[in-house]
Amino acid sequence: MKNITTNYIPKEWLALKINACRLALSKLPKTALHIRTIRNVITPVCVVDGHTYTRKTEKGKHFFEQAEKREQYESQLEAASAGWNANFKGPVPGDITPRKVVRMFNIGNGEQVVLDRSYFDSLKNDADPYYPESKKYFFNGIYYRSVAEKEIAEFYTVNGIPFKYEPEVWISGMNKPIYPDFVIYIRELDCCKFHEHLGMLNFVNYLKTTKNKYVMYIDAGLIPDIDILFTYDTDDLPFDIRTMWPRLNSLTYSSLFTRQAG
């Protein structure tokens, strides 16, 4: 796997990540995990407001879960802050804050769905039964159809961005489901985004299908560069994974200014 964690991460993405971690930490109880000897048994304990809890009680289980979440957010905050301090000057902008971005699209018969965590969780991963997969590009339990798609999957995985590969999606105007290359989930926005990687634009039939899909997305209410990220791979314009951060950053940052943002 290429080292894609050390590439330049845009300012807005880092600010959103830092502010999201700070907000999450402000809502968690202040906890401390220790090891103590209780009745001659070495026991992990969680200390909250001077009170000590073990995992044996319901309240103790709850506080241990909260402590583990705090450790995760503190680790993420430390990593994001290090990236900020290495590349930017001054305080983190306070206006780039996490919020629920409500984006919807039409799935047919006048019905709409919200592109949120519930929708993302409903999607089945690697669901396309029609288009044969290559057996060359394997990563994390899935065969991808091209080296570019494998690199994109690695990018999302390494950077902690949940995604589904070729999930089954029903959309208005179609009598059968489609299978977008990726559907990603942006936790800080509680919002899904479609990602289509167009890798055969030199072929006439593929180009025709791509044009139809583009129109279909728009007709269903999805907006390019807000709801959909397009990347490309042709003989004249080979895909480079280094372009992912600025593209993803623009998609996410633009979403903060949609009217439906909560």
Tokens, residue 47: 């200390």
Q: What tens digit of pLDDT does each residue of 144-185 get?
A: 988 999 999 999 999 999 999 999 999 988 888 889 999 999
Mean pLDDT of 85-100: 92
Q: Are 212 and 122 in contact (CB under 8 A)?
A: no
pLDDT at 12: 95
Distance CA 236, CA 256 (A): 34
Give residue for tokens 């907000």: 23
Query: Which CA distances in Å does 103 have to 17, 166, 184, 246?
Result: 20, 20, 14, 21
| Range in 98-102, 134-138, 159-163 with the lowest mean pLDDT | 134-138
Residue that has been written with the tokens 């879960």 in this structure: 65
